[in-house]
Structure 1
């Protein structure tokens, strides 16, 4: 019962995260929000690691994969935050959370995790649901919603790619704190590079 309540609370916080991001756009640029989120989060991780004595900067062969994951994470959150400007929170959340769909496909080709008949049936159902979400924006000729939907979908695909890179590299053996710091640092750098053009 406690575990179920914790999972409901966790998913509620994730859902409210998107709502809070959309509300913040009334006064802030989405790229700025992405940079601020990454810097504040990174400082919290550094503080946590310092308190716990967790070493982050020892050479462990993860730097190149960490940079790739950081860039993917940074672009993913730019897509997510900018996509929220052009579509509803509900559609954005649904499309970003197509990530398992893309991990399943990527895992088949890149990780050797074969798709069986049961997984294939789930993929077909998920794909039909994806078409249903997109169809009203396409047939209504609402280009703004379609742009937001595509960015949100792109965010889900990049999330899946991030997971696949982690599983195929030494990052799978590194600490969760170091992995998170790679992602937050990458997001801050990507956001800072894009900011002048936003």
Structure 2
């Protein structure tokens, strides 16, 4: 979801890492497709299960899976190590991100959400520039951030001219787009907290557990306050969607990402992340029959160019 573009933070254990080989590239392509499909999985069941309840159940299932994984590997999750405050903050930001994603997908398309959400690397670069010593942005990264924000502005302009989705207004669609950008900013804020606090020395499993456990509690509570539990429908599609989100995305894909980070250089792996919004747009168009304008296509290319520029590694002297 992230040194700058991954779902969450990288493991901190030092090791010798190499450039991605053919195997790593194939795995990254699969991961990007998995992450890109997530918005489609969420949107396909938003009419059957309340968005916040869906997000809360997703996090709750994944929390149990991560706890079981950590227990099986002997990784301590509840040992006092000074990370509680930072972990709770990261969890709250993570919960806020998914509030924006799930509510936003009731208002805007999955393809637009995929592009707006993956502005996160640009927000991350800005946050690390301010809060983490040694993470100062270079000229190329500033250019990338400028390109991405130009793409956001163009996409918002497109939102004011595109026909509204059935049952919604044009302003509702723009609000959904804005929630997508806010989700990207909250994702970036989570990354900055992980990198700039005691969580930078915690295990990947514990960092993920904090985010999932806190978000599960917050999201389920908000769903109950909104009365979403009364209208939920349990259908095969709902079960499949939640299984995909919790097991495949929040558990398997994130642990696979961490495994890759222990063997390959993070900067080179992160460049693949620009494929994720492309997959998201493609799945939205192919599976949900979503349409997009030439203006939005140009905006998407600007955002993607910004992601690539932000992730270009610095040259070593």
Same fold per TM (> 0.5)? Answer: yes
Deviates more, 1:152-161 or 1:183-192: 183-192
Deviates more, 1:131-140 or 1:71-80: 131-140
Equivalent position to 1:148, from 139, 157, 176: 176
Equivalent position to 2:107, from 86, 100, 118: 86
> What TM-score comes out, normalization by structure 1 length?
0.95
Describe how 1:75-154 pairs up with structure 2 within 5 A: 75-112=96-133, 113-140=135-162, 142-154=170-182
Describe how 1:20-35 pairs up with structure 2 within 5 A: 20-35=41-56
Q: Distance in 1 between matches of 2:80 and 2:128?
A: 28
Equivalent position to 1:197, from 219, 226, 229: 226
When the two structures are aligned, how many residues end up with a matched partner?
198
Residue 85 of structure 1: SS of its match in structure 2? coil
Q: Distance in 2 between matches of 1:123 and 1:18?
A: 24
The residue aligned with 1:57 is 78
Asked if structure 1 preserves the Cα contact closer than 8 Å seen for 2:57 and 2:220, the reply is no
Q: Distance in 1 between matches of 2:100 and 2:182?
A: 7
Q: Distance in 1 between matches of 2:179 and 2:206?
A: 28
Q: Distance in 2 between matches of 1:172 and 1:14?
A: 24
The residue aligned with 1:162 is 190
CA shift at 1:139, angstroms? Answer: 4.2
Equivalent position to 1:71, from 89, 92, 100: 92
Could you list the runs of 5+ residues in structure 2 that have no partner in the other structure? 1-21, 163-168, 228-317
Q: Distance in 1 between matches of 2:176 and 2:157?
A: 14
Asked if structure 1 preserves the Cα contact closer than 8 Å seen for 2:94 and 2:187, the reply is yes
CA shift at 1:118, angstroms? Answer: 1.5
CA shift at 1:193, angstroms? Answer: 2.9
- CA deviation string 1:63-82 (max 9, x = no partner): 00000001000111111111
The residue aligned with 1:174 is 202
Asked if structure 1 preserves the Cα contact closer than 8 Å seen for 2:117 and 2:183, the reply is yes
The residue aligned with 1:183 is 211
Equivalent position to 2:29, from 5, 8, 32: 8
Residue 179 of structure 2: SS of its match in structure 1? helix
- CA deviation string 1:147-188 (max 9, x = no partner): 110111110000000011111111010011111110011111
> What TM-score comes out, normalization by structure 2 length?
0.60
